[in-house]
Structure 1
Amino acid sequence: MPRSKTDDKRVLVIGLGRFGSSLALELVAHDWEVLGMDSSPRLVQTYADSLTHTVVADATDEEALRQVDAQDFNRAVVAIGTHLEESILATSLLVDMGVPHIWAKAISRRHGRILQQVGAHHVVLPEHDMGERVAHLLSGRMLDYVEIEEGFALGKTRAPNALIGRRLGDTRVRARYGITVVSIKRHGEEFTYATEDTVPQKGDVIVVAGRTSHVERFAEVT
């Protein structure tokens, strides 16, 4: 029987390769009920004792999806990687069944656009996103980097000299660099929200938000 959306902590994960299995195991670790589904008996057997439920089934077969009550899940992840046709068809079937929240893994932006066109609510490009993130970390002063959506990012970096010892409100950081300092962390302390009265000190770590190009440029400020 379907549960209310507020207390439903069940998720259907289709595809138990590296991405799908890692995601499924992490969800189980956070007390989610995970039904892992794959056409490979070997993969299903590998994770049978780690996931809440597992099943060998073809996700491109509508009847197979209905037999595992896919239509009753509030959330589903299509983690099929290299087989584009299977990924697109499985996503389309879940959309037709009315699953409210569908995440789908894409291996390229073109693949991602197709998944969105057939109705996926969230598209994930793990290889692309990780490659982009590492490139930013290798090429500059960024300590961490996350693109929230295309063209907008969060960056973690050391507070540059231009901000040291000055109230953020006096630095005109948004006008000068096009970014907003959203949080700050002192050595031995936790991150806290940054305000106009925050005065960064040497060695502080800050998190900034803004357009990707602005975040990139700000990370090079000394």
Structure 2
Amino acid sequence: MDDLTRTGATGLGPLADDDRRDRGRRPDGPRAKGPKREAGILVVGLGRFGSAIAATLDRLGQDVLAVERDPDLVAQWSGRIPLVEADATNPEALEQVGARDFSVAVVGVGSYLEASVLITGNLVDMGTPQIWAKAISNEHARILQRIGAHHVVLPEADAGSRVAHLVSGKMLDYIEVEDGFTIVKMKPPRETQGFTIGQSKIRERYGVTVIGVKSPGIDFVYATPETRIAANDLLIVSGHAELLERFAARP
């Protein structure tokens, strides 16, 4: 099978006709040079991780192109997202799909370490401005970082850490931003219920900041000292992870 085979036209989503014909050329035909796609996103690999990213980006109207070498996955996603069948471990195949034109690339191949490293290395050699790569272990992540991936994601480790925080207290959602700074969605401790944020002195007593409050049937509102907290409200709170854990553990 050739390194590159374009799927049927129904799978091209928002791509223009000229661009379809251009990206549909096989490796033995020249690819016309076009302007650099400043916002284009290339997604390599259509496993659970890559397909979720590609499908979401396409639904949001982003200029996205997926690359997959498994014919079964290509058939599964054909007609649903812009898609090319190609072996991205081959730099010539990446050139043919126009990988240089994309400002962001996501390497969703994680289970096959050699393929993950080769694809990431190819994108680094092409000078892709932003490369996001999936890793399945800390060792895998270190390799990807050393060869030039700008952002490395460990989905299972991140999800496990997040779930551990959620099952241990009142937290309903948990996002660690960086260096321990975290944003959580949680139920309000009993001592804050019926009082305004100013009266509860949450910042002074617990070192965390209530960003907003969501009451049932009412739109989210940004919190002020006058915002009153009810028992059935949800709080959006930010701060250091340890301080948030203590606040969420309050009865």
Say yes or no: TM over 0.5. Answer: yes
Deviation at 1:66, TM superposition (A): 1.0
User: Is the 1:155–1:208 contact (alpha carbons within 8 Å) kept by the matching residues of 2?
Assistant: yes
1:3 deviates by: 4.2
Aligned to 2:112: 83
Secondary structure of the 2:232 match is coil
TM-superposed deviation, 1:150? 5.0
Distance 1:205 1:198 in 2: 13
Alignment of 1:92-107 (within 5 A): 92-107=121-136
Amino acid corresponding to residue 25 of structure 1 in structure 2: A
Q: Displacement, 1:214?
A: 1.6
Instruction: Report the Cα distance in structure 2 between the residues aligned to 1:161 and 1:82, rounded to whole angstroms.
Output: 46
Is 1:25 matched up with 2:55?
yes
Compute the displacement of 1:26 (Å): 1.5
- 8 Å CA contact retained: 1:185, 1:206: yes
- 1:133-182 CA distance string (max 9 Å, x none): 22222221111112223522211111112222333234332232221111
AA of the residue aligned to 2:207? G
Distance 2:45 2:151 in 1: 16
1:4 is displaced (CA, Å) by 5.7
Which residue of 71, 74, 89 maps to 1:41?
Answer: 71
- Structure 1 counterpart SS, 2:182: strand
Shift of the 179–43 alpha-carbon distance from structure 1 to 2, 3 Å rule, reads same
Does 2:140 align with 1:111?
A: yes
Alpha-carbon displacement from aligned partner over 1:60-85 (angstroms, at most 9, x marks no partner): 22112111110110111100021122
1:204 and 2:233 correspond: yes
Distance across 2 between alignment mates of 1:194 and 1:31:
32
Q: Note if contact 1:182-1:193 (Cα within 8 Å) is conserved in structure 2.
A: yes
Query: TM-score of the superposition, structure 1-length normalised?
Result: 0.89
Distance 1:150 1:115, change over 3 A: farther
The amino acid of 1:51's aligned partner reads I
Structure 1 Cα separation of the partners of residues 158 and 208 of structure 2: 21
Q: Corresponding residue for 2:14?
A: none
Query: What is residue 191 of structure 1 aligned with on the other side?
Result: 220
Q: CA RMSD in A?
A: 1.8
Structure 1 residue 184, shift from structure 2 partner: 0.6
Where do 5+ consecutive residues of structure 1 fail to align? Answer: none
* Bigger CA radius of gyration: 2
CA shift digits 1:11-34 (9 cap, x unpaired): 211111111112111222112233
TM-score (norm 2): 0.80
Q: Is the 2:84–2:97 Cα contact (8 Å) retained in structure 1?
A: no
- CA-to-aligned-CA distance 1:186-219 (integer Å, 9 cap, x gap): 1211211112222212221101111112222211
Q: Does 1:53 align with 2:83?
A: yes
Question: 2:35 corresponds to which residue?
Answer: 2
Aligned residues: 218
Map of 2:97 onto structure 1: 68
Q: Shift of residue 108 of structure 1? A: 2.1
2:35 maps to amino acid? P
- Partner of residue 148, structure 1: 177
> What is the distance in 2 between the residues matched to 1:211 and 1:117?
29
| Alignment CA distance shift 1:149-1:106 (3 Å) | farther
- Counterpart CA distance in 2 for 1:193 and 1:111 is 40
